[in-house]
Amino acid sequence: LALAHGSAVKFLPGFEGPLPFELETGYVGVGDSEEVQLFYYFVKSEGKPEDDPLLFWLTGGPGCSAFSGLAFEIGPLKFKVDVYNGSLPTLVYNPYAWTKVSNIIFIDSPVGTGFSYARNNRAAQTGDLKQVHHLHQFLRKWLMAHPDFISNPVYVSGDSYSGIPVPVLAQEISNGKTLTLTSCRDE
């Protein structure tokens, strides 16, 4: 059972200086042989990360990158609105980010979205229920690799088309699959 493989990100193109929040990006392998690699952005709460909820955020589409949640919607970044002059867009800090009060995992899902990919053609085939299964596996493995968040309240949310998989995923989590370190190992 492989765990999440994440790296700290301190700087981003278009943002001046070091990021004023903790950002981790990486992949978690899901599926029978981890043939699906789901990419995520994790932003630690700027409040009390050890107590604040863990929000699992899905972007709609299906097929919209989680980067939109990070930089256009609820995340700690936003684009500076400026006349285009041929240079890189400028990213600025979003003082109204939900990361003020919650830890957030933004995930590129389903497979084929954003930086998420499949290792073979069969694994690239997806649908709403397969996506939910992959997301549940992802969350369990991510929590195993990040045990500091295992007792935080978990909320599953998103926008647009994610209104289809979010309630099904919440139900799957709720169906007696309490997220504890022990249950995460029972994959």
Count up the domains in the chain and report the number. Answer: 1
The CATH number of the domain holding residue 162 is 3.40.50.1820
- Helix (H) or strand (E) run with residue 121 in it: helix 121-124
Give the range of the structural domain holding residue 123, as residue numbers without chain letter: 5-185
Which of the residues in the chain have pLDDT under 70? 1-4, 176-187
Q: Which amino acid is at 54?
A: L
pTM of the predicted structure, to 2 decimals = 0.90
Q: pLDDT tens across 11-53, in order? A: 999 999 999 999 999 999 999 899 999 999 999 999 999 999 9
Give the per-residue pLDDT at 67. Answer: 94
